Amino acid sequence: GENVEQHPSTLSVQEGDSAVIKCTYSDSASNYFPWYKQELGKRPQLIIDIRSNVGEKKDQRIAVTLNKTAKHFSLHITETQPEDSAVYFCAARGRAQKLVFGQGTRLTINP
Amino acid sequence: NAGVMQNPRHLVRRRGQEARLRCSPMKGHSHVYWYRQLPEEGLKFMVYLQKENIIDESGMPKERFSAEFPKEGPSILRIQQVVRGDSAAYFCASSPAPVETQYFGPGTRLLVL
């Protein structure tokens, strides 16, 4: 079945620096790749998503890139701020309509 | 426009009891997905339902777990004879169509004593 690998599991960056989180997926039929941010005790919140007909998408300080050939996609956060600290999950949707999630990345922004 | 609603937010059960978790999708959404999240882990798909139909239950244990999404009312995830390993956060998500974005509810945190 579909498998999504996410790296790194933890990431610590200085405020103002950039953070990059990477995911790979196994199902070549996957066509939708959302990223969710989850703060402690809260629900996952969609922050950006990309579909397979697009290579890159940007929304202010957040961008996502997709390489279909290599079956990997990445989240880029620039000019990080303390409120960016959270756990980030990538996901992929393949032949079935369910989302398959990565294991999560705990991002810590150091002031 | 209210988001996805789940209740209860917290549920404590003793081993052997039943747990019923409810999910009301966003207005206009007829597709519901249930996910389970163990502490410090990612979300694992359990079941995907459309009104009155189970579309995909490949992630749901065959024993003790069941789900429904009736024509009227919320979707319900039912866990019979709970065990300590069922302790987790259970999230539901909804979308207006299977190819659209899924929006998550606040989750139900189940603790089995």
**Could you report the per-residue pLDDT of B29-81, keeping only the tens digit for each?**
999 999 999 988 889 999 999 998 999 999 999 999 999 999 999 999 999 99
Q: Which two tokens stand for residue B23?
A: 């999910």
Predicted local distance difference test score (pLDDT) of residue A1? 66
**Nearest CB partner across the interface for B45, out of A6, A49, A99:** A99
- The mean of the pLDDT values for chain B is 94
Record: contact B42-A101, CB cut-off 8 A:
yes
Half-sphere exposure in the Cβ direction for B4 (13 Å, CA):
29
DSSP B100: S
Instruction: Per residue of chain A (111 residues), give pLDDT as tens.
Output: 689 999 999 999 999 999 999 999 999 889 999 999 999 989 999 999 999 887 899 999 999 999 999 999 999 999 999 999 999 999 999 877 789 999 999 999 999
Instruction: Give the nearest chain A residue to B41 (CA atoms).
Output: A103
**Nearest CB partner across the interface for B43, out of A42, A89, A97:** A89
Instruction: Give the nearest chain B residue to A2 (CA atoms).
Output: B45
Please tell me the distance from the alpha carbon of residue B88 to that of residue A41, in angstroms, as a whole number.
12
- Chain A contact present for B43, CB below 8 A: yes
Q: Which of B45, B55, B99, B111 to substitute to test the interface with A, most A CBs within 10 Å?
A: B45
